[in-house]
């Protein structure tokens, strides 16, 4: 039930949903004074949530800062624990398709190649309500096998559906309970992830990837011109902030 509710919540917290609802109120309201308020509010929301500069500043304050691999504490980590939610399986063409969050996996591979970690532990089951038998971890493992990544350095956990389950279900798979682990996930998702792994009793060091915020810019297009992609990115940020509060209430972090 919690899993289903989280999917519904993701829809309700999206700024685009709010804007569309306000426009519906505008079109169907018979009160001219209210119609004007709905229209002005919807336009204000659209301009605010499509502004790249505002989004960038808010993201920068929420995301856990990223490090280069060279800036990591001088030690070899037992493994990188890589959180899923970065791909889906396309049955029509029989292959995995990655989203922008795939930076999680690719940065972990780079950490292995550079000798910072000994293993990669990929954590992720099905994030779909309708296709719950399609386990992301299996498809990622198959992809890594195709590119000749050694099986001996890969472990997977394929049953978890959310960040809370990621932490508790991967714990029995960890080679050594007191070893050093890197936690690899999107910078916007890292705050909630660290809380979950700490609650599960797994000591991890954050390695943020897939950042939405970048260097502060004062360029015309970044400051003024509306960016439709910002609406989706605001949904990501609000989802993480609300998710953090909900997890705190549930005692997951």
Q: Is residue 218 part of a domain?
A: no
Query: How high is the pLDDT of residue 73?
Result: 76
Co-location of 189 and 233 in the same domain: no
Query: Residue 149: which pLDDT band, with cuts at 50, 70 and 90?
Result: very high
Rounded Cα distance between 131 and 185, Å, is 23
Tell me if 74 is assigned to some domain. yes
Structural domain containing residue 136 = 69-209
Task: Burial-class residue 32 by CB neighbours within 10 Å (0-12, 13-18, 19+).
Answer: exposed
Residue 5 pLDDT class (50, 70, 90 cuts): low
135 in the same domain as 55: no
Q: What's the confidence (pLDDT) of residue 125?
A: 86
CATH number of the domain bearing residue 78: 3.40.50.620
| pLDDT at res. 3 | 54
**Domain annotation covers residue 175:** yes
Q: Which is higher by pLDDT, 214 or 74?
A: 214
Q: What pTM did the predictor assign?
A: 0.90
Q: What's residue 7's pLDDT? A: 61
**Continuous segment of H or E residues that includes residue 11:** helix 2-12
pLDDT in tens, 212-224: 998 899 999 999 9
Distance CA 52, CA 225 (A): 8
Residue 126 has pLDDT above 90, yes or no: no
Task: For residue 217, tell me if it sits in a domain.
Answer: no
pLDDT of residue 92: 87
The tokens for 161 are 């559906």
pLDDT at 117 over 80: yes
Q: Is the pLDDT of residue 138 over 90?
A: yes
Rama region for 85: left / alpha / beta (φ>0; ψ in -120 to 50; rest): left
Question: Is the same domain home to 171 and 139?
Answer: yes
Are 239 and 189 contacting, i.e. CB atoms less than 8 angstroms apart? no
User: Rg (Cα) of the chain, in Å, rounded?
Assistant: 20
Whether 166 and 44 share a structural domain: no
**Do 188 and 86 fall within a single domain?**
yes
Residue 10 in contact with residue 239, Cβ under 8 Å?
Answer: yes
Type and span of the H or E element at 208:
strand 204-209
Kindly report the average pLDDT of the chain as a whole number.
Answer: 91
Do residues 122 and 52 share a domain? no
User: Same domain, yes or no, for 78 and 202?
Assistant: yes
* H helices present in 114-227, as ranges: 136-146, 163-170, 187-199, 220-223
- Tell me the average pLDDT across 148-177: 92
Is pLDDT at 4 greater than 60 in this prediction? Answer: no
Under the banding of pLDDT at 50, 70 and 90, the label for residue 76 is: confident
pLDDT of 158 reads 94
Domain total for the chain? 2
Q: Which two tokens stand for residue 54?
A: 């505002």
* 7 and 53, same domain (yes or no): yes
């Amino acid at each position: 039930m919690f899993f289903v509710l989280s999917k519904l919540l993701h829809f309700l917290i999206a700024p685009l949903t709010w804007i569309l609802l306000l426009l519906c109120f505008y079109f169907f309201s018979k009160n001219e004074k209210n119609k004007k308020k709905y229209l002005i509010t919807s336009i204000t929301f659209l301009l605010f949530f499509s502004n790249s500069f505002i989004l960038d500043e808010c993201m920068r304050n929420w995301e856990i800062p990223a490090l280069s691999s060279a800036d990591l504490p001088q030690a070899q980590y037992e493994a990188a624990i890589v959180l899923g939610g970065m791909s889906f399986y396309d049955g029509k063409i029989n292959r995995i398709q990655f989203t922008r969050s795939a930076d999680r996996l690719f940065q972990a591979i780079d950490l292995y190649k550079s000798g910072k970690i000994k293993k990669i532990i990929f954590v992720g089951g099905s994030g779909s309500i309708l296709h719950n038998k399609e386990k992301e971890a299996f498809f990622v493992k198959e992809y890594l096998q195709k590119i000749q990544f050694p099986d001996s350095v890969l472990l997977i956990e394929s049953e978890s559906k959310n960040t809370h389950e990621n932490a508790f279900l991967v714990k029995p798979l960890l080679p050594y309970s007191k070893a050093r682990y890197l936690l690899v996930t999107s910078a916007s998702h890292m705050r909630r992830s660290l809380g979950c792994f700490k609650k599960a009793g797994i000591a991890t060091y954050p390695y943020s990837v897939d950042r939405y915020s970048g260097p502060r810019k004062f360029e015309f297009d970044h400051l003024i011109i509306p960016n439709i992609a910002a609406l989706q990115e605001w949904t990501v940020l609000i989802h993480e902030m609300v998710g953090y509060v909900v997890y705190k209430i549930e005692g997951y972090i």
